[in-house]
């Protein structure tokens, strides 16, 4: 680049000795870097398969941030009709997820709070497990209470 700045003529800059080899080496390095990045993103997607529903750029923005709130804008893509998580702080100032909000503003309170700290794929997996556990409990409770009512549908 310094040589190009000294001689801004394109034809002169492109015909300098070794220029083709330099550009080919840079292209090869870029390909290796892109392959490493794709391998890294694939490892994150394999750890939490719902990451397959978002683009590489979106996944990089989630992984590049240390804030748990960065997943909020991508929740609806990863979970059908889940708009956001209710995130807050516990008594020790640790970030927790305590509920899921649907796009219709329905709220499903988790039975147990999930700590939203550490690797995002780990706590998102714990949050998914808690969502399933809570949903299973709510469904069983509804079936039990439905059996108590002795009136026609």
Shared domain check, 34 and 61: no
Within a domain: 83: yes
Distance of CA 45 to the CA centre of its chain: 9
Q: Which residues 6+ apart lie within 8 Å of 134 measured at CB?
A: 108, 109, 110, 111
pLDDT for the residue 22 = 87
Within a domain: 42: yes
Within a domain: 7: no
Structure confidence by residue, pLDDT tens digits, 35-49: 999 999 999 999 999
CA distances from 80 to 36, 76, 101 (A): 30, 6, 11
| Boundaries of domain holding 131 | 49-147
Domain harbouring 106, CATH code = 3.20.180.20
Structure confidence by residue, pLDDT tens digits, 85-102: 999 999 999 999 999 999
Note whether 134 and 145 are within 8 A (CB).
no
Within a domain: 3: no
- Give the global pTM: 0.78
From the list 75, 67, 68, the residue with the least C-alpha distance to 50 is: 75
The whole-angstrom separation of Cα 43 and Cα 79 is: 20
Shared domain check, 38 and 102: no
């Amino acid at each position: 680049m310094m040589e190009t700045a000294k001689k801004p003529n394109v034809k002169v800059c492109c015909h300098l000795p070794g220029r083709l080899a330099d550009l080919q080496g840079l292209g090869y390095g870029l390909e290796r870097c892109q392959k490493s990045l794709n391998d890294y993103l694939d490892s994150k997607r394999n750890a939490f398969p719902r990451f397959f529903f978002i683009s590489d750029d979106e996944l990089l923005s989630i992984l590049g941030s240390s804030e748990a709130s960065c997943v909020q804008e991508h929740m609806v893509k990863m979970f059908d009709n889940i708009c956001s998580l209710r995130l807050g702080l516990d008594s020790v100032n640790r970030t927790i997820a305590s509920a899921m909000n649907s796009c219709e503003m329905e709220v499903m309170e988790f039975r147990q709070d999930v700590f939203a700290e550490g690797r995002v794929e780990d706590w998102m997996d714990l949050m998914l497990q808690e969502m399933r556990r809570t949903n299973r409990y709510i469904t069983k409770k509804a079936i039990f209470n439905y059996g108590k009512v002795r009136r026609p549908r």
